Amino acid sequence: MDLKYLLLSVEDKVAMVTIHRPDKGNALAPEVLEEIEALFTEISTRQDVNVVVLTGGEKYFSAGFDLTIIRKLEKVSNEDYTALFHRAYRAILYCDQPVICAVGGPAIAGGFDLTMMCDIRYASERAKFGQREIALSLTPIMDPLWRIIGLGRAKEVALTGCIYDAYEAEKMGYVSKVFPEGKLIESVMAIAKEMATYDRMCLKETKQLSNHVLGQDLDSAMRVEEWLFRTYIGSEDNHLRIDALLEKLAAARAKKSK
């Protein structure tokens, strides 16, 4: 795939996708969104990728919408651009593989929305988060935000347009962990590579399950979880992984008893 605004590398079954428009703070021009949609759609089909990391590097994530382009839009001519945004969002949200977001700098408005579509979010100390749409007379995305941090906190984020630092985002449950500046990519890749050693289909179905059960009542969700568990327990891969763990524990006990 011919990429101009994204960088792609694949190592140890981890695909790292880097937004690369540093002269514009990784602002989301239509060309960037088109590449995001196309690349994540293609990655979904790759059997050599178990986990995806989306980042803007150690300095940026994305400053959000390209305002010079949005300013030119009119109500009668905005459909293509807004539809493109949501196709890019959905390509990340429904990517077969788990997507980890590594936020090294500001993730604002449309950039914040991209982080929202990921399954796990990690940040560096210099990261900042904010839904600034309300300040531009635009309606922000509430779902899946409320599913991540709860409805009350999601309303605060959306209605105030506040910008939060990495530790505030961690406290509200939006970010899972904050890493020292300059250590983000290294730390997140270590997590991703460990995840990528797991069964690809098990990762995929666990991600799908996490999205599926939210729309069900408790009993229905429990039945789906029981069925999925039953399809994996006793499989060849399940046996191999249990054997490896038991051998590791036995070796550790033997070493401790010496």
Share of the chain above pLDDT 70, in %: 97
For 218-241, write each residue's pLDDT tens digit.
Answer: 888 888 888 888 888 888 888 998
For 65-84, write each residue's pLDDT tens digit.
Answer: 877 777 776 665 556 777 88
The secondary structure element, H or E, covering residue 15 is strand 14-19
Per-residue pLDDT at 77 = 57
Distance CA 130, CA 107 (A): 7
For 19-55, write each residue's pLDDT tens digit.
Answer: 999 888 898 988 999 999 999 999 999 999 999 999 9
Q: In terms of pTM, does the model score above 0.85? A: yes
* HSE-CB for 161 with a 13 A CA cutoff: 8
Q: What 3-state class would DSSP assign to 4?
A: coil
CATH number of 6-195: 3.90.226.10
Every domain range in the chain assigned CATH 3.90.226.10? 6-195
For 113-158, write each residue's pLDDT tens digit.
Answer: 999 999 999 999 999 999 998 988 888 999 999 999 999 999 999 9
Q: Write the burial class of residue 48 (CB in 10 Å: 0-12 exposed, 13-18 middle, 19+ buried).
A: exposed
Distance CA 64, CA 28 (A): 6
Between 164 and 256, the higher pLDDT residue = 164
Residue 215 has pLDDT above 90, yes or no: no
Per-residue pLDDT at 78 = 59
